[in-house]
């Protein structure tokens, strides 16, 4: 997938004047030498200027079972996200970007990618009984690619060791206009792990909190 010219997209725990939808940022962790080396690969050169964010929040409050990092950026037509990890993404696991372009906390788009490289899209809307999933939204125009860190690695991308994944999400797929200067969207990201057959999520922010993306 060709990467267009990328611009900075700052994800803040709580920008000035915002309230209610976010909170303290999740604990950070320094990337390993392997992650630093991966980010120096030619195919990821466009991502070098952007901050590396750790998916360190869990619903239980315990440390995440594996270490995963995220970079976020934007272009004239889309949002872009890079996931990267040196720990395998195994069968039944996956990663996802969560986006609330309205910013009211009443629902969000979920764009997921399985360990087998399958794209999974849905809208989650808040109801009296909790969030309801609507899978009729198919994510028209959304692209996501999962790659092993080395072409020499055997098996499905991500299942044998280090991997990266790039998401490209056109504004037109999730909103009726491109974000205007001063507009704020809510964004989160997650990795789904399986521990003893039970799902565990590591996130940028512990749900129901998100981070604020302020468009300049």
Q: Under a CB-based contact definition with an 8 Å cutoff, are residues 121 and 137 in contact?
A: yes
Q: Is 201 helix (H, G, I), strand (E, B) or coil?
A: strand
By the 10 Å C-beta count (0-12 exposed, 13-18 middle, 19+ buried), 18 is classed as middle
* pLDDT above 50 (res 18): no
* pLDDT above 60 (res 107): yes
Residue 181 domain-assigned?
Answer: yes
Q: Which domain holds residue 197?
A: 7-214
pLDDT, average across residues 88-93: 92
Q: Is 45 helix (H, G, I), strand (E, B) or coil?
A: helix
d(CA 163, CA 80): 17
Number of structural domains in the chain: 1
pLDDT for position 152: 38
* pLDDT above 90 (res 105): no
Residue 1 domain-assigned?
Answer: no
Q: What is the CATH number of the domain that holds 19?
A: 2.60.40
Residue 123 domain-assigned?
Answer: yes
Task: Please tell me which residue, 1 or 182, carries the higher pLDDT value.
Answer: 182
Residue 185 domain-assigned?
Answer: yes
Weakest-pLDDT range from 19-23, 160-164, 205-209 = 19-23
Residue 2 domain-assigned?
Answer: no
Half-sphere exposure of 193 (CA within 13 A, CB side): 20
Beta bridge mates, 6: none
pLDDT, average across residues 187-211: 93
Residue 142 domain-assigned?
Answer: yes
Q: Under a CB-based contact definition with an 8 Å cutoff, are residues 171 and 183 in contact?
A: no
Each residue of 118-153: pLDDT tens digit? 999 999 998 888 888 988 898 999 999 999 865 434
CB neighbourhood size of 126 (10 A): 14
Each residue of 63-75: pLDDT tens digit? 999 999 999 999 9
* pLDDT above 90 (res 160): no
**Closest-CA residue to 123 (of 131, 76, 115):** 131
């Amino acid at each position: 997938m060709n990467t267009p010219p990328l611009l900075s997209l700052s994800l803040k725990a709580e920008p000035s004047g915002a309230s209610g939808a976010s909170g303290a940022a999740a604990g950070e962790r320094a990337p390993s030498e392997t992650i630093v080396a991966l980010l120096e690969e030619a195919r990821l050169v466009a991502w070098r200027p952007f901050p590396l964010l750790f998916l360190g929040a869990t619903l239980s409050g315990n440390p995440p079972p594996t270490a995963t990092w995220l970079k976020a950026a934007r272009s004239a037509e889309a949002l872009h996200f890079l996931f990267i990890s040196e720990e395998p993404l195994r069968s039944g696991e996956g990663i996802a970007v969560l986006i609330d372009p309205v910013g009211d906390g009443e629902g969000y788009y979920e764009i997921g990618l399985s360990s087998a490289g399958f794209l999974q899209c849905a809208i989650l809307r808040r109801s009296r009984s909790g969030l309801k999933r609507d899978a009729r939204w198919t994510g028209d125009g959304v692209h996501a690619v999962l790659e092993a860190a080395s072409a020499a690695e055997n098996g499905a991308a991500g299942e044998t060791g280090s991997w990266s994944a790039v998401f490209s999400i056109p504004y037109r797929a999730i909103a009726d206009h491109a974000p205007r200067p001063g507009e704020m969207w809510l964004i989160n990201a997650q990795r789904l792990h399986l521990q003893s057959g039970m799902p565990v999520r590591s996130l940028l922010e512990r749900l129901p909190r998100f981070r604020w993306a302020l468009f300049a």
